[in-house]
Amino acid sequence: MKFSRKVEVCGLSPVRKFYPYEVAAEAKGLKIRHLNIGQPDIETPDVFFDAIRNFEDKVIAYAPAPGTPEFVEAAREYYQRFGCNLSGDDILATFGGSEALQIVMSCLLDDGDEVLVPEPYYPNYDTFIRITGASIRPIPTTAEEGYHYADRSRIEPLINEHTRAILITNPGNPTGVVLSEEERRTMVDIAKEHDLFLISDEVYREIVYGGRKVSTMLEYADAAENVVVIDSVSKRFSATGARVGALVTRNQQLIQEASKICQSRLCIATLEQAGAAAMYTRLTQGYYDDVLAQYEQRKEALVESLSKLPGVTFNSPEGAFYVMATLPVDDAEKLQYFLLEEFEDQGETVMFTPAEGFYSNPDDGRNKVRIAYVTNPADITRAIEILGRGIEAYNARKA
């Protein structure tokens, strides 16, 4: 049987490819400590469930393709807090941030086009871009420079006649980098001057440390035709399974094109939009402050425990809830198989995400991993302890 070559060139998700091995390990009675997936254990706010329980319509009907009026207005008012004066026509509800990305790429890209993306990058970006026939041209970053990339001398030489957009994540997944105000301005200016779209994935917007400013690229109204924001309730409200996101831009031509896709899939879930709207409208700043405080504690637990592992190097993250770490092993993916199939520590093992899929050249991520710190500090500390013992056992086995 024949399949699309555009699908065949896309790799499996490095975050989810180990799921069958996870199932097999659990079937053997192992408890798995998860550092591999961005699934927070913070409870979804009660207002989400209350809104669904109090839904009064007798029929769960199709919602409008762009989103329910309640959700769109709630999102518009949310951005108003950042001084962004949007209209409801600037917002399209989507099935999470993932569909927003898919829609944008489908609207912007053709065969042979290129998107500049800071590397390492979220692996699904590669799938969303390749499926259109386009490709990623990576913007190299280094751990020594804190993975910062907003530099004209680094970006502009990569721009050519095939470049259509720059795609960034701020705060960053997987690096935890947060752009300064000067760096954000630089990215906007580059996009404007070269007539490019600046696609800003901001699903971790509120999770920034050290008093850094919570921001959005939509603040730059002078770049209204260039800036596209990808957003979601998944991480902000610990509601990953709700699948409510948004494509936000003042570029009405892009909105019109994206609306065609939104109409073709009819609508996103009506009930989940009711819950999402309630979270945006009813939760106060205290909620965001409390969640940030919890992630700060988790980050501290990770940094402290990871610093104790011999040969492991990493940068303390500035935002989001991920760390890129270099391990003292020859191959992080082989280590993960070993941890799931051959290793245990008091009946437990650990999962992380090998970083090969975060690089255009897999060899650049061969001994690197992405670690998600989304559980309580004690669980994180124990998971890193198991990782250290697993590394030691893996290297001893190969000696």
The whole-number pLDDT of residue 184 equals 98
The whole-number pLDDT of residue 211 equals 95
Phi, psi of 383 (to 5 degrees): -60, -40
pTM for the predicted model, two decimal places: 0.94
Q: Are strands 163-169 and 114-119 parallel, antiparallel or unpaired?
A: parallel
Domain residue spans in the chain?
5-43+286-398, 46-283
User: Confidence class of residue 85 from pLDDT cuts 50, 70 and 90?
Assistant: very high
Determine the average pLDDT of the residues in 158-170. Answer: 98
Instruction: Fold for 46-283, please state it.
Output: Aspartate Aminotransferase; domain 2 (3.40.640)
Q: Does domain 5-43+286-398 have CATH number 3.90.1150.10?
A: yes
| pLDDT tens, residue by residue, 32-60 | 999 999 999 999 999 999 999 999 999 99
Distance, in Å, from the CA atom of 126 to the CA atom of 117, rounded to the nearest integer, reads 10
Label residue 380 exposed, middle or buried (CB < 10 Å: 0-12, 13-18, 19+): buried
